[in-house]
């Protein structure tokens, strides 16, 4: 590998720095590279990936570290490397382009552009020989048929510049809500659930938290034990799977099979923030200690392996160590037998360990398919004794594992992903009443205020003392959600004020009056060939659905009807799509549910308000906004005018659309006033 460095050497992104010593003359995205392409009239090669991406590493080893391949790239192209986590806006544009070409999207994403940034060809991973042939063919086509490529690029340029709302025939507007229609959508979703392993019936298997959040909410509000059981079953199977790090905690991105068995071993902060929130809700709903175990272990992983010294959370852990996927996490039978010989009989049964390996190359992934009670009974142990033994064995194996070479770490801090983790930590605090979860959430929020906010402006990324790249809608929307939850947890009005301040920026700078939705990128930050809108919920809920739900909840807390009006119009635009294809619109479906049944507005005022609020938090109630104060206050509209009883003790006001029921002083009386789906 050449030790000479290219222009990526000045980057903060670990992914870009991984390519800084390639013989390819890489540039980061920016004026220098874009101007060079225009001046020299060269096509641009944009290559997009991220640090935990397995095939990105493979293509780097095969092609970008190869001198002959690099010479071909340098001679005919201006080569730009992009970290998709830092620049999801550019990734969105060129992913759209590749799909418009009828090609499969994925990463690494390699797209060829005219000097004016309009794309004419692309693809994902290419083996080296194929890549070299493609480079030669495109260089030849540009030299001899530039006009034809330009014509093709104009067509794709028009396609990606087309507004998403126009593409899907979406018009924001008034909406009629029908419980039967939503029930149909739930039935459609429910029919796609894998009854044997949980999750959706497809391979590979992604956790998709937005789906399970919606189905759980719907189950609780319609009192459907069957649907609730399906959600809890899925979360059980996921938590028992190889997708979950059985020794340390934390979830990998997905499993390559349908059984949650063999993951791509990378751990992303955004998955773990959302799954922490979901498992906390599962614990609030069921009080099953299995879910509590996953909450506690994931917290420990976060604290030990993802927290940086200033209070931010790192972005991701790689799948590979020493160039081998999963090497850090897997074991041979022989190795385990030598470390825990006496415990091996029950441990091997618990995790499906085989002398010849349960995965490939004689390797074992820890994969639980039987419950603790079944394994305990089979080995004449009480469940309590098995759990104690398991704790000790995990500690022993972790001490050995910690001596291995760690997987690569992407140590940049991403604002939106940190905000998703804040929400997860607050939900864990609600579920357990354990202050450590709230303290970590508050410390991380403080970090975002001090380090990732400059002159009251939010930034996307932070590393080495520098905040860079103006924030996207995803960052604002996730942080507003986190602020609303922090307000509910602490009753500190500053969190609500922060949510409102951020919302004002979003409305001023991201809102498109033409169709009533929000741009993903701030159009005034940088001129791109298209301003995209993110509408579909995927592994992360879409930034528009997050924002629509934030506006709904803020309208309740602040009594500002203009928030509710924008949110309802957005829902009106999405309604037909939600009902047609709910699988990728589940966060929108949650908003439908919140509008279908009036959202409960709970105000608790007086001595003992905090204890009463904790009673509400310890059980999970969907579609409920709560504010509490130990004394009368007018800092928050929802609390204004609410009084304690004559002795100063807390009263609970259950209200709907700013109209309150008779105030009561016990949790049981209050919850009897909550509505359900008939």
Topology given in CATH for the domain delimited by 7-162: Glutaredoxin (3.40.30)
- Over residues 393-412, mean pLDDT: 96
SS (H, E, C) 267-278: EEHHHHHHHHHH
Lowest-confidence region among 46-55, 238-247, 255-264, 432-441: 46-55
Looking at residue 469, its pLDDT comes to 95
Q: Are 386 and 346 within 8 A, CB to CB?
A: yes
> Where are the CATH 1.50.10.10 domain residues in the chain?
190-327+410-596
pLDDT over threshold 50, residue 2: no
461-494, pLDDT tens digit by residue? 999 999 999 999 999 999 999 999 999 999 999 9
- State percent of the chain over pLDDT 90: 92
Q: Residue 230 — very low, low, confident or very high, per pLDDT cuts 50/70/90?
A: very high
Query: Which residues lie closer than 8 Å to 361 by C-beta, 6 or more apart?
Result: none
Give mean pLDDT, residues 270-285. Answer: 98
> Under 8 Å CB-to-CB from 121, ≥6 apart: which residues?
101, 111, 112, 138
Partner residues linked to 468 by β-bridges? 461
pLDDT digits (tens, 9 = 90+) for 354-398: 999 999 999 999 999 999 999 999 999 999 999 999 999 999 999
Here the tokens at position 119 are 């794309």
Say yes or no to pLDDT of 678 above 80. no
- What share of the chain in percent tops pLDDT 70? 100
Looking at the predicted structure, is the pLDDT value of residue 414 above 80?
Answer: yes
**511, β-bridge pairs:** 518
Is the pLDDT at 1 greater than 60? The verdict is no
Beta-sheet strands, E only, within 351-498: 409-410, 413-414, 453-454, 457-463, 466-470
Mean residue pLDDT of the chain comes to 96
Secondary structure of 131-163 as H, E, C letters: HHHHHHHHHHHHHHCHHHHHHHHHHHHHHHHCC
Supply 642's token pair. Answer: 């609410």
pLDDT for 171 equals: 79
Q: Residue 3 — very low, low, confident or very high, per pLDDT cuts 50/70/90?
A: low
Fold of 190-327+410-596: Glycosyltransferase (1.50.10)
Of 130-139, 166-175, 339-348, 516-525, least confident by mean pLDDT is: 166-175
Where do you find CATH 3.40.30.10 in the chain?
7-162
Task: Give the residue-averaged pLDDT of 184-213.
Answer: 97
In the predicted model, is pLDDT for residue 15 greater than 90? yes
Average pLDDT over residues 609-636: 96
């Amino acid at each position: 590998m050449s030790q000479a460095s290219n222009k990526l050497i000045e980057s903060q992104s670990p992914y870009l720095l991984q390519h800084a010593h390639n013989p390819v003359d890489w540039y980061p995205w920016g004026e220098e590279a874009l101007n060079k392409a225009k001046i020299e009239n060269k096509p641009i090669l944009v290559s997009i990936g991220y640090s935990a991406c397995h095939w990105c590493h493979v293509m780097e080893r095969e092609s970008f570290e190869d001198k002959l391949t690099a010479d071909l790239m340098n001679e005919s192209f201006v080569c730009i490397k992009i970290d998709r986590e830092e620049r999801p806006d550019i990734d969105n544009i060129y992913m759209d382009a590749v799909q418009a070409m009828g090609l499969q999207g994925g990463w690494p994403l390699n797209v060829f552009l005219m000097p004016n940034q309009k794309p004419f060809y692309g693809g994902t991973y290419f083996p080296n020989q194929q890549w070299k042939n493609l480079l030669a063919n495109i260089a030849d086509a540009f030299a001899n048929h530039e006009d034809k490529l330009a014509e093709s690029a104009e067509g794709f340029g028009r396609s990606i510049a087309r507004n998403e709302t126009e593409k899907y025939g979406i018009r924001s507007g008034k909406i009629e809500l029908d419980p039967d229609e939503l029930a149909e959508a739930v039935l459609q979703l429910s029919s796609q659930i894998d009854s044997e392993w949980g999750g959706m019936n497809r391979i590979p298997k992604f956790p998709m938290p937005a789906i399970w959040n919606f189905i759980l909410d719907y189950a609780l509000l319609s009192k459907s034990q069957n649907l609730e059981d399906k959600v809890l079953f899925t979360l059980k199977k996921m938590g028992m799977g190889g997708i979950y790090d059985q020794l340390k905690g934390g979830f990998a991105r997905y499993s390559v099979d349908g059984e949650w068995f063999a993951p791509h071993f990378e751990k992303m902060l955004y998955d773990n923030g959302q799954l922490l929130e979901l498992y906390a809700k599962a614990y609030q709903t069921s009080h099953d200690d299995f879910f509590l175990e996953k909450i506690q272990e994931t917290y420990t992983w976060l604290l030990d392996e993802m927290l940086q010294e200033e209070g931010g959370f790192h972005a991701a852990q790689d799948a590979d160590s020493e160039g081998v996927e999963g090497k850090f996490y897997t074991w041979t039978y022989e190795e385990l037998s030598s470390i825990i010989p006496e415990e091996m009989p029950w441990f091997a049964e618990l995790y499906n360990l085989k002398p010849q390996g349960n995965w490939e190359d004689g390797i074992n992934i820890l994969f639980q398919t039987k419950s603790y009670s079944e394994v305990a009974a089979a080995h004449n142990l009480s469940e309590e004794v098995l759990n104690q033994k398991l704790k000790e064995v995990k500690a022993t194996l972790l001490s050995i594992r910690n001596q291995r070479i760690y997987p690569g770490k992407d140590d940049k801090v991403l604002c939106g992903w940190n905000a998703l983790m804040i929400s997860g930590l607050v939900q864990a605090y609600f579920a357990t009443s354990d202050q450590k979860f709230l303290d970590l959430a508050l410390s991380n929020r403080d970090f975002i205020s001090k380090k990732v906010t400059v002159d009251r402006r939010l930034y996307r990324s932070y590393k080495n003392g520098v905040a860079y790249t103006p924030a996207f809608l995803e960052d604002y929307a996730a942080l507003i959600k986190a602020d609303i939850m922090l307000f509910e947890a602490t009753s500190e009005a500053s969190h609500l004020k922060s949510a409102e301040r951020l919302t004002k920026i979003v409305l001023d700078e991201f809102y498109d009056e033409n169709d009533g939705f929000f741009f993903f990128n701030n159009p005034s930050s940088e001129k791109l060939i298209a301003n995209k809108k993110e509408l579909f919920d995927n592994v992360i809920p879409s930034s528009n659905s997050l924002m629509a739900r934030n506006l709904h909840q803020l309208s309740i807390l602040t009594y500002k009807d203009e928030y509710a009006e924008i949110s309802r119009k957005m829902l009106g635009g999405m309604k037909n799509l939600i009902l047609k294809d709910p699988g990728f619109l589940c966060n929108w479906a949650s908003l439908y549910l919140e509008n279908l049944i009036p959202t409960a507005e709970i105000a608790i005022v007086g001595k003992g308000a905090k204890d009463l609020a904790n009673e509400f938090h310890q059980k999970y109630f969907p579609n409920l906004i709560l504010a509490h104060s130990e004394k009368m206050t007018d800092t928050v509209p929802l609390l204004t005018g609410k009084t304690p009883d004559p002795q100063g003790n807390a009263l609970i006001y259950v209200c709907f659309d700013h109209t309150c029921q008779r105030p009561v002083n016990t949790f049981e009386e209050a919850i009897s006033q909550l509505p359900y789906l008939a």
